[in-house]
């Protein structure tokens, strides 16, 4: 079964062709990120205007790259929620019009759930061609710009929420810390790179702890970085790499310990991660060693499938048909 996926929840316009929820034939992603960078965050009006311009050529390119036509497509999938309303409307209206005119089914997919599905996709450009399917049930950790949540993922890719952030999402904290330190937007990739300039530091920042074992809080650590910066940035010894190293270390430790705790509490041997922060190299390596020592099988999406993309939407849609 061939599904055409469409994703327009934030600044990206993406279309993909995926077979049977598994093989990615094409996955075209166009981002308007550069136009937002001067404002330090996404401007919804700019995002949706660009998506209106891009959606038709992006869908055409996804079909051409997969070497298929509209006739070969069995269903159309689209991101239903969550996201910026103007951006979602572009994708949903386009997909609804396409489904009616081609007389094909339309499948609406939750963006957050789809991030966790990304680890099940076989990306043709990746080296790992065998790419094993995750065994379900599993624990799933979604860490993106807008969400940080832990799920129990059951058979047929159903999602049961175990915990989530009470304030900022993990990606949001990376973006805000980068803004405080004047490192540009988005903050995740630059912090990831800069943190590697330092091996060790005595500097410590702590993530907030909640009554609920699977809930997160990242707003306090961002404020701690702000106060530290205000107090010390004029000192000769002040080193931004040290600050981001300590910040990243603490966020990663919190994400790893809560994910592992959920696996052990629920007696599950599979952990899935997804979302933009899953691209973080320190998180990937720390999760891998923690999972190795507990005999837990870790499934991380190919690097380019961590960020927003339509392949994950077309993939999960196969289980919603």
Applying CB under 6 A, which residues contact ligand KG4? 10, 144-146, 171, 174-175, 186-189, 192, 275-277, 279-280, 307-308
Report if residue 12 touches Zn ion, rule: CB under 5 A: no
Residues in binding contact with Zn ion, number by CB under 5 A = 2
Minimum distance, C-beta of residue 77 to Zn ion, in the bound complex (Å): 15
Sign of torsion over alpha carbons 303, 308, 309, 313: positive
Minimum distance, C-beta of residue 187 to ligand KG4, in the bound complex (Å): 5
Q: Beta-carbon neighbour count of residue 35 at 10 Å?
A: 15
Task: Read off the DSSP letter of residue 160.
Answer: E
DSSP one-letter string for 57-125: HHHHHHHHHHT--GGG--EEEEEEESS-HHHHHHHHHHHHHHHHHHT--EEEEEHHHHHHHGGG-EETT
Nearest-CB residue to ligand KG4?
Answer: 188
Q: How far apart are CA 293 and CA 85, in angstroms?
A: 43
Minimum distance, C-beta of residue 146 to ligand KG4, in the bound complex (Å): 4
- Find the helix or strand (DSSP H, E) in which 159 lies: strand 158-164
Nearer to Zn ion, 9 or 250 (CB): 9
- Candidates 96-104, 136-144, 183-191, 211-219 — which segment interacts with Zn ion by CB under 5 A? 136-144
User: With 0-12 CB in 10 A as exposed, 13-18 as middle and 19+ as buried, what is 96?
Assistant: middle
123 binds, among Zn ion, ligand KG4, none (CB under 5 to 8 A by kind): none
Report if residue 308 touches Zn ion, rule: CB under 5 A: yes
109 binds, among ligand KG4, Zn ion, none (CB under 5 to 8 A by kind): none
Minimum distance, C-beta of residue 309 to Zn ion, in the bound complex (Å): 9
Among 8, 27, 32, 144, binds Zn ion (CB under 5 A): 144
Minimum distance, C-beta of residue 171 to ligand KG4, in the bound complex (Å): 3
Backbone angles phi, psi at 318, to 5 degrees: -60, -30
Residues near Zn ion (CB under 5 A): 144, 308
């Amino acid at each position: 079964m061939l599904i055409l996926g469409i994703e327009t929840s934030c600044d990206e316009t993406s279309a993909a062709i995926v077979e049977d929820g598994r093989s990615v034939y094409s996955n075209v992603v166009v981002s308007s990120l550069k136009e937002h960078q001067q404002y330090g965050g996404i401007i919804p009006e700019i995002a949706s205007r660009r998506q209106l311009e891009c959606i038709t050529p992006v869908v055409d390119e996804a079909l051409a790259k997969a070497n298929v036509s509209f006739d070969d497509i069995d269903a159309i999938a689209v991101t239903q929620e969550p996201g910026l309303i103007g951006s979602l409307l572009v994708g949903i209206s386009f997909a609804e019009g396409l489904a009616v005119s081609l007389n094909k089914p339309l499948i609406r997919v939750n963006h957050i759930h789809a991030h966790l599905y990304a680890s099940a996709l076989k990306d043709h450009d990746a080296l790992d061609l065998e790419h094993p399917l995750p065994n379900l049930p599993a624990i799933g950790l979604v860490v993106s710009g807008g969400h940080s949540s832990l799920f129990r993922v059951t058979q047929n890719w159903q999602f049961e929420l175990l915990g989530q952030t009470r304030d900022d999402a993990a990606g949001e904290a990376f973006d805000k810390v980068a803004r405080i330190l004047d490192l540009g937007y988005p903050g995740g990739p630059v912090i990831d790179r800069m943190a590697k300039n330092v091996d060790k530091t005595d500097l410590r920042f702590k993530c907030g702890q909640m009554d609920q074992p699977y809930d997160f809080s990242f707003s306090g650590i961002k404020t701690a970085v702000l106060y530290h910066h205000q107090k010390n940035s004029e000192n000769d010894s002040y080193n931004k790499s040290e600050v981001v190293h300590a910040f990243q270390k603490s966020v990663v430790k919190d994400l790893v310990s809560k994910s592992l705790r959920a696996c052990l509490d629920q007696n599950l041997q599979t952990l899935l991660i997804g979302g933009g922060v899953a691209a973080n190299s320190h998180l990937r390596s720390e999760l891998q060693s923690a999972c190795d020592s507990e005999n837990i099988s870790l499934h991380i999406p190919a690097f380019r499938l961590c960020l927003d993309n339509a392949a994950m939407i077309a993939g999960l849609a196969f289980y919603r048909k």
